[in-house]
Chains A and B, each alone.
Chain A
Amino acid sequence: MTDQTQIITPEGFAEDRFAETPVPTLEDYRGGVAVFLPVNADPASLAPHFSVLSLIVVPFASSADGRGFSLAAALRAQGYKGHLRARGHILVDQFRAALRSGFNDVEITTTQAARNPEAQWRAVPLGTGYQSRLFAA
């Protein structure tokens, strides 16, 4: 998180647990604990590093671009257990989908946070949806 951004967890606005962790881009990644994974990257390419990675940040360039949701789900499907963060233009109305796709928190700009204060995020119903009921074998 920077001065210009706000972290939001299911509990509401939060401090950044990873404030001190540098997050290199995928190109600069040399096997460290954090990485910034662009939405056109192949999630499988990171699989060898899952055991050391504790933070993956996935960008949302626009709220209309839903690739990040599938990318998060793919990372979880391939066994990533660490922290997953959605960074960028994420609407209050997408918070539920983000958490259900596997993200732990989202990071938005403080400008957007001023328009979408904490109460709006806390009002999002986080109950389960159709899928967990349909596949509850």
Chain B
Amino acid sequence: MYTYTDFDRDFLRARVAEFRDQVARRVDGSLTEDEFKPLRLMNGVYLQLHAYMLRVAIPYGTLRSAQMRKLAEIADRWDKGYGHFTTRQNIQFNWPKLSDVPDMLDALADVDMHAIQTSGNCIRNVTADHFAGATPGEVEDPRITAELIRQWSTDHPEFAYLPRKFKLAVTGTEEDRAVIRFHDIGIRVRQQNGEIGYQVVIGGGLGRTPMIGKVVRDFLPRADLFAYLEAILKVYNLSGRRDNKYKARIKILVHETGVEELKARIEGAFETQKRLLPDLNPDVVNRIHESFAPPAFKETDFDPNTGQTPPLQAFIDTNTHPHKRADHLSVTVSIKPIGGTPGDATSDQMRALADIAETHAYDELRISHEQNVILPHVHRANLPAIYAALRDAGLATANIGLISDIIACPGMDYCALATARSIPIAQQIGEAFSDLDAQHDIGPLKIKISGCINACGHHHVGHIGILGLDRAGVENYQITLGGDGTEDATLGARTGPGFAYDEIVPAVERLIETYLDHRSSPDETFLALYRRLGLAPFKAALYGDTHAKAA
């Protein structure tokens, strides 16, 4: 894992001091709210409905136990004893006072963490595959590239006041767990004739105009990465729209200009950058490579039957992912207890996770974009002990990838932009399907819920997507079906009119009944069935036969 140098640490302290000064200047009137807002956003501070919110970066989702313990301490000392893990590998604290934020940032800096560029119209915290460095089939650990990008994009003088936010994600496998086709720039590490390079995708995004990113380079040699990224950012900064914030993302520029024309402009800027940009500093690059070397994996003889119980087996079946070493696994810890708030962990749970990682899992934790926590490297011999410790902490829910593993944005319970609530819908769906055996019978299913058209809950790429709207002063929920955020990127299709707050959960239940009635075998997933039969049977179940025929 990357460890900070004195340079990184000095930089963080200087930024905290700067933010402390900015708050003071806001209070004394040197800065107006309009001037202060972009500055506080660039330091992760949002104003929500009931309070400020501090969004802390977890670069490429990787944490050490000491960092997780510090997050727990911050939650207890300045917040309400919990934190919310988000789809962009951040953690959000929902109740800080503006006057406390500088102290919170200093506490974060104690463990090499920060909230820089987690919000605002700048290059955001870069995300990566949550199984990076652990999964089989990886060309290279994508965090090497992600860390290089973090350093390049941090405090970049040219790109801090872009037309709109700018998000990058990196993956190192052909499978896509980083949702690269729905980012402003998606990067896939590739290998060609023994050389490392990148597939580059631009112009993806969700929000009110969801778009799937377009490939602009199939293989960009590694040495050209930053010249190319700078070329994209320069073209976007100078020609992205600034007249309408809903049309300001690069996806709209791609759409309005045409990908071929834009690609030509990018290539033009790239030629100049390639000529001018000096080579990367080999000391920095080597240090980054070394810091992502795998841990010293434990070699032990072990009997896989020791400590085996049916609940443990069920947990292993749902909550683990293969590791590049046969004697190891990656464990996903569900932060989706039945009836709980997706992504919320208490400070005690954070400490339990830190202890487990430290004792049994090489001191490493990850945050996934599906709002869960991952122990990337776990020796199989440690599974019984880990499972027992997770149970004690209330973190052993065996529901990964199932109907109750729901992504939900904060919605109207916290967010100032929301048009409806999303958390209670997730809670109620979890309760309606609380029986884990029934969940297993339903099989893999991704439900994703957003509380407004901004789509922070990724509803467009949910197998079942739910979008909360305000229809004449009443909450109303639209359903989309068949979305997919993986390498088969697909946007969900709308079923028809929305449902009231107390109708939406029964509507989801009808969708599930329809699936169970129509599937050819238990192996046919919800998504596969939808692809085979389309909307019709689901519409019939939602709105009745007459409506389905008319539509």
In the complex, chain A residues 65-85 whose Cβ is within 8 Å of any chain B Cβ: 65-67, 69-71, 73-74, 77-78
B276: CB under 8 A from chain A? Answer: yes
Q: Which residue of A lies closest to B161 (CB)?
A: A66
Contact stretch, chosen from A2-10, A12-20, A23-31, A92-100: A92-100
B279: CB under 8 A from chain A? Answer: yes
Q: In the complex, are the beta carbons of B30 and A115 less than 8 A apart?
A: yes
A67 to B243, CA, bound (A): 13
Q: In the complex, are the beta carbons of B151 and A135 less than 8 A apart?
A: no
A94-137 Cβ-contact flags toward B at 8 Å (1 or 0): 10111011000000000000011000100101010111011111
Q: Looking at the complex, which one of B25, B273, B281 makes contact with A120 (CB distance below 8 Å)?
A: B25
Q: Looking at the complex, which one of B21, B22, B152 makes contact with A134 (CB distance below 8 Å)?
A: B152
In the complex, chain B residues 277-291 whose Cβ is within 8 Å of any chain A Cβ: 277-282, 284
- Find chain B residues with CB under 8 A from A125 CB: 14, 18
Q: In the complex, are the beta carbons of A137 and B14 less than 8 A apart?
A: no
B154: CB under 8 A from chain A? Answer: yes
- The answer to whether A77 and B30 touch (CB under 8 A), given A101-B158, A137-B279, is no
Contact stretch, chosen from B234-242, B254-262, B464-472, B497-505: B234-242
A63: CB under 8 A from chain B? Answer: yes
Q: In the complex, are the beta carbons of B281 and A135 less than 8 A apart?
A: yes
A91 to B36, CA, bound (A): 10
- The answer to whether A134 and B151 touch (CB under 8 A), given A115-B30, A116-B30, is yes
- Find chain A residues with CB under 8 A from B35 CB: 63, 91
Q: In the complex, are the beta carbons of A63 and B280 less than 8 A apart?
A: no
Q: In the complex, are the beta carbons of A69 and B237 less than 8 A apart?
A: yes
Tally of A-B Cβ pairs under 8 angstroms: 107
Q: In the complex, are the beta carbons of A131 and B157 less than 8 A apart?
A: yes
A69 to B158, CA, bound (A): 5
Q: In the complex, are the beta carbons of B157 and A91 less than 8 A apart?
A: no
Q: In the complex, are the beta carbons of B238 and A137 less than 8 A apart?
A: no
B389: CB under 8 A from chain A? Answer: no
Q: How far is the CB of A125 from chain B (nearest CB, A)?
A: 6
- Find chain B residues with CB under 8 A from A65 CB: 161, 242
Question: Among the interface residues A70, A74, A77, which one has the most CB atoms of the partner chain B within 10 A?
Answer: A70
B427: CB under 8 A from chain A? Answer: no
B340: CB under 8 A from chain A? Answer: no
- The answer to whether A129 and B280 touch (CB under 8 A), given A66-B160, A70-B237, A74-B234, is no
Q: How far is the CB of B537 from chain A (nearest CB, A)?
A: 49
Residue count of chain A within 8 Å CB distance of chain B: 37
Q: Which residue of B lies closest to A98 (CB)?
A: B157
Q: Which residue of A lies closest to B153 (CB)?
A: A130
Q: Looking at the complex, which one of B154, B272, B282 makes contact with A130 (CB distance below 8 Å)?
A: B154
Q: In the complex, are the beta carbons of B237 and A66 less than 8 A apart?
A: yes
Q: Which residue of B lies closest to A128 (CB)?
A: B7
Label chain B's interface by main secondary structure: helix
Q: How far is the CB of B490 from chain A (nearest CB, A)?
A: 34
A114 to B160, CA, bound (A): 25
Q: Which residue of B lies closest to A117 (CB)?
A: B30
Q: How far is the CB of A73 from chain B (nearest CB, A)?
A: 5
A97 to B155, CA, bound (A): 8
- The answer to whether A129 and B31 touch (CB under 8 A), given A77-B272, A93-B39, A134-B284, is no
- Find chain A residues with CB under 8 A from B155 CB: 97, 129-130
Q: Which residue of A lies closest to B122 (CB)?
A: A66
B1-34 Cβ-contact flags toward A at 8 Å (1 or 0): 0000001000100100010011001000111000
Q: In the complex, are the beta carbons of A129 and B157 less than 8 A apart?
A: yes
A74 to B155, CA, bound (A): 18
Q: Which residue of B lies closest to A40 (CB)?
A: B238
Q: How far is the CB of A110 from chain B (nearest CB, A)?
A: 15
- Find chain B residues with CB under 8 A from A135 CB: 226, 277-281
29 A-B pairs with CB atoms under 8 Å apart are: A39-B238, A40-B238, A64-B121, A66-B160, A67-B238, A69-B158, A69-B159, A69-B161, A69-B237, A70-B159, A74-B234, A93-B39, A97-B158, A97-B160, A101-B158, A116-B30, A123-B21, A127-B14, A129-B11, A129-B154, A130-B154, A131-B156, A131-B157, A134-B151, A134-B152, A134-B284, A135-B277, A135-B280, A137-B280
Beyond the given A130-B154, A136-B278, please list 18 additional residue pairs across the A-B interface where CB-CB is below 8 A. Answer: A63-B161, A66-B121, A69-B161, A70-B158, A70-B234, A70-B238, A91-B35, A92-B30, A97-B158, A100-B157, A101-B157, A120-B30, A130-B151, A131-B152, A134-B148, A135-B277, A137-B279, A137-B280
Q: Which 3 A-B pairs have the closest CB atoms?
A: A66-B161, A137-B279, A100-B157
